[in-house]
A and B are shown apart, each in its own frame.
Chain A
């Protein structure tokens, strides 16, 4: 099993850097965040809210990179599942207020709506819902790609990538060291390339994990059979 301490030693030893362990750890943390962001491999189910009647926008945790799904429970008593909200453009909120948005389906029966990401007056990350919730206490569940916490020696659970990509993480940190500490972009290029390849590979692996086979195709003779 790969540990954070091992990764730090690998960076210092294999990169032959005159750097401290905290510095190497910082390089690893940044690269860890980068590989997670590029590959979208670290995803979480988060709770945002609960709803407050008349409040449209809710703070999004700083760790969220990309929201893939939003569900809002239709009543405070509902269990873990909520009603999915559709992803919309930022301008849809304002257009919805003017009645330009039509919500169909089971909306009238079970609720639902759309969501967008926005920013508050001081730039804070917000999740906006339309229609504006009229009940208090409804759970807003968000399924999102997140960025991991900084790595800490001894807390190996903080590593959010599969162990087979640990070497690439070390390569990325070495590339950072070579570029920034030694100004040797030429030597860093090889390590940077390895890191980028690993990001692509992990993104592909992640995509396969979350991609279903899709709807079943019905073959119609003369049409698609």
Chain B
């Protein structure tokens, strides 16, 4: 209920994610301009991602492949191929050198019958390296291995027994017409999606032979799209029976029909981040090894061995909201899941981390290097009323926030059971071991303008990066302290007369549990109509 003379605007729903590409006043009511290091939980509440810990701090050059799974030999294993060597990582992060050949560029492997296939015809079966039919890209579909060579896709026989060697009959291939070159392939049920320089093709019916005994063609070659061109094969990830495909114009969700293998129409999922995404493409960046985990699509953006950004899309939400990750623990080039935890290999160093993005707690309030990963939410432009400037008097934020336990210190007398042998000298008589919380607080910035960088409608694509969070915020006096029970909203005095209000909420310090519940603006409407 509004206080007499005041209007109360509430921003509670951020389920639409961030819309850095839209004019801030056009962002939907359930969206924000920017969400950094925030994820959306089941109730669509934005929470700060958990931090990271080292699986192994050993740097071994630039990552070229990071994968975890079961191979023919050695059961479940986590493989790291980098410019500094080829390794199998133990559960404790120990690097065990293996003889797998390292690819020249960051690669997504294909695994068929327990053998890892790498571009160039190299294979690894968990124990020894081998060779296969040489190809630029591999895919697995219909229980066959497909190999891309230029504009031709060759497919193997269907193995009749485990371990049977693959054969490629001379006529078992599809020649793509139109003067195209294959840039990637991915299996999709019994079809293979072939990405080319001039669109996308689908080879269907791979569970059948090319022709039947009467010579009737049983496999199909369909042109699925004439204009969607794949941006990078490493950005492809599978989800819910479909594929997430980063093309040069948009990120598409490709699916086949439920009751048939007929391809369903594409669905673009990159609408909210379209301009940002296209600017990355225009600047010549490449996608890292994307991954889908817990219904979230993680897309790293790289410039060579430099990490640029990580965009995250929550696929299992109808709105498919986007957020972005920053900080040491977000500079991941490739992800892997070893059956119990999400792992990441950092860009440029191949340092491997255990990623606790979805399990924030006091143990992972910061990233592995000790840095407190930043958290901020920048709201959309909120009209204060009647398209005239009105005075925003106060802003009130409801949130949940816990500090993190940090440095241990001695005070008072040593407590029985509270002293860790070999960590410190036994204290003097009368000292007590206490864990102290590191200071954390939330600050609020207020802004009335749109962008400090590029102006809407005046930005020339490909010339420079789209402006970041847009505009400089005036930091309001006072900070919000931890509130573990979310019972005490914090109030900031604003006192600004604006037509549109935009708020930035940012964290200082390593909070172990932070979620944003609601933002209220108390506005004194002006009596003027113009």
Contacts and interface: CB of A to CB of B under 8 A. Distances in A.
A203 B366 CA distance: 65
A12 B477 CA distance: 14
B5 A184 contact: yes
B526 A183 contact: yes
B493 A187 contact: no
Interface stretch (A13-21, A64-72, A118-126, A131-139): A13-21
Interface in A14-72: 16-18
Contacts of A185: 527
A12 B495 CA distance: 8
Given A182-B391, A184-B5, A16 B495 contact: yes
A186 interface: yes
B524 interface: yes
B496 interface: yes
Contacts of A17: 391, 495, 497
A184 B523 CA distance: 13
B527 A184 contact: yes
Interface string B422-453: 00000000000000000000000000000000
A18 B497 contact: yes
Nearest to B496: A18
Contacts of B497: 17-18, 181-182
Interface of B: prevailing SS: strand
A18 B527 CA distance: 15
Contacts of A12: 495
Interface string B352-394: 0000000000000000000000000000000000000001011
A13 B493 CA distance: 8
Given A16-B391, A17-B391, A18-B391, A184 B495 contact: no
Contact of A182 (B394, B493, B494, B527): B527
B478 to A, nearest CB: 13
Contacts of A184: 5, 524-527
Interface in A162-201: 181-187
Interface residues of A, number: 12
A182 B496 contact: no
B5 A182 contact: no
A144 to B, nearest CB: 39
B528 interface: yes
A184 B528 CA distance: 8
A183 B527 contact: yes
A183 B495 contact: no
A181 B391 CA distance: 10
Given A16-B493, A18-B496, A183 B391 contact: no
Point out which of A16, A181, A184, A186 has the most chain B C-beta atoms below 10 A from its C-beta: A16
A16 B393 CA distance: 6
A167 B288 CA distance: 64
A86 B304 CA distance: 97
A166 to B, nearest CB: 21
B524 A18 contact: no
Contacts of B391: 16-18, 182
Interface string B198-220: 00000000000000000000000
Contacts of B498: 18
A181 B528 CA distance: 9
A187 B524 CA distance: 10
A17 B389 CA distance: 12
Nearest to B526: A182
Nearest to B389: A18
A182 B524 contact: yes
Contacts of A18: 391, 495-498
B66 to A, nearest CB: 53
A186 B5 contact: yes
Contacts of A181: 497
A29 to B, nearest CB: 21
Nearest to A185: B527
B244 to A, nearest CB: 46
A187 B494 CA distance: 19
A13 B495 CA distance: 8
Contacts of A182: 391, 497, 524, 526-528
B98 to A, nearest CB: 66
Nearest to B390: A182
Interface string A122-156: 00000000000000000000000000000000000
Nearest to B494: A16
Nearest to A188: B527
A131 B527 CA distance: 58
Nearest to A12: B495
A183 B524 CA distance: 11
Nearest to B497: A18
A16 B524 contact: yes
A213 to B, nearest CB: 48
Given A13-B493, A16-B393, A185-B527, 9 more contacts: A16-B493, A16-B495, A17-B391, A17-B495, A17-B497, A18-B498, A182-B497, A182-B528, A187-B524
Q: Ordered nearest first, which 9 A-B pairs have the shortest CB separation?
A: A183-B527, A18-B497, A16-B393, A183-B528, A18-B496, A16-B495, A184-B527, A182-B526, A187-B5
Interface of A: 12-13, 16-18, 181-187
7 contacts: A16-B493, A16-B524, A18-B495, A184-B5, A184-B524, A186-B5, A187-B524
